[in-house]
Amino acid sequence: MTCWVSRLLPRNVHSLGTSSKNQRVEDCHRHHEAYGYFLPIQTRWQDNDQYGQVNNAVYYSYFDTIISHYLIRYCGLRTSLLTSPMVGFMVTNQCTFHKPISFPQVLVAALAVEKLGHSSVYYHLALFPPKATKELPSVNHWDLRDGFFSGHPKLVHFDSLACTNGSSVHVFVNPAPRKPTGLPEDFRRGLLRLVSPASV
């Protein structure tokens, strides 16, 4: 744990759940290089809470947005229960907060795949705030529609350290019996593009 979060916790709580190995892995996932796909996220006025910063529950909606966007755009996920051969259930979510963000910042969300199972996908996620300059990051329609991949020049407009990072696990099931189902090959191929270098 780093920054202001660790100062809020009682002294004996700081080491719970963060061994030095876990801390190294956590630190690795705070950098651009750990991710393959990026999507700009415009914060909204309603995202702020009474303290003037984005409420912690909203971060999960940002993570859900980049995952769903990638699956629909690059893996061919169909979202209608009437036509989709599978439905994704989010079974685990975790988020670590390092630095607060607030409206009207434009963030970039980041996505990597840690592991692909028969019917499950393990994701790593992060949010990178814009660099503290007078010039805001320039985001256009194509960035919002397509996102961009690792190494894109627009990443220089965002901090190299994530303000938040986390993980999620999706399990895909048949729509009717709701039993786990194998990931189709084209779907799997799209996800393999994002297998994190940190997890290989």
Does residue 150 fall inside a structural domain? yes
Identify the residue with better confidence: 114 or 23: 114
E-strand ranges in the chain read 37-42, 87-97, 106-116, 120-128, 148-149, 164-173
- Lay out the sheet containing 148-149: strands in order across: 87-97, 164-173, 120-128, 106-116, 37-42, 148-149
Query: pLDDT category, 86, cuts 50, 70, 90?
Result: confident
Phi then psi for residue 176, to 5 deg, are -85, -60
Scanning the structure block, which residue is given the tokens 């901090």? 159
Where residue 109 sits, what CATH number does that domain have?
3.10.129.10
Whether the per-residue pLDDT at 1 is higher than 80: the answer is: no
Does residue 106 fall inside a structural domain? yes
Whether the per-residue pLDDT at 198 is higher than 80: the answer is: no
Does residue 21 fall inside a structural domain? no
Whether the per-residue pLDDT at 6 is higher than 50: the answer is: no
Could you tell me the residue range of the domain that residue 111 belongs to?
30-193
Does residue 200 fall inside a structural domain? no
Average pLDDT, the chain: 82
3-state SS, residue 132: coil
Whether the per-residue pLDDT at 70 is higher than 90: the answer is: yes
Does residue 23 fall inside a structural domain? no
Does residue 183 fall inside a structural domain? yes
| pLDDT value, residue 14 | 42
Q: Where are the alpha helices (DSSP H) in the chain?
A: 3-8, 20-28, 56-74, 141-146, 185-192
Does residue 100 fall inside a structural domain? yes
The pTM for the full model equals 0.82
Identify the residue with better confidence: 76 or 126: 126
Total tally of structural domains belonging to the chain: 1
d(CA 25, CA 107) in angstroms, rounded, equals: 23
Q: What is the mean pLDDT of residues 8-34?
A: 58
- Taking only the tens place, the pLDDT of each residue in 92-134 is 999 999 999 899 889 999 999 999 999 999 999 999 999 887 6
Does residue 65 fall inside a structural domain? yes
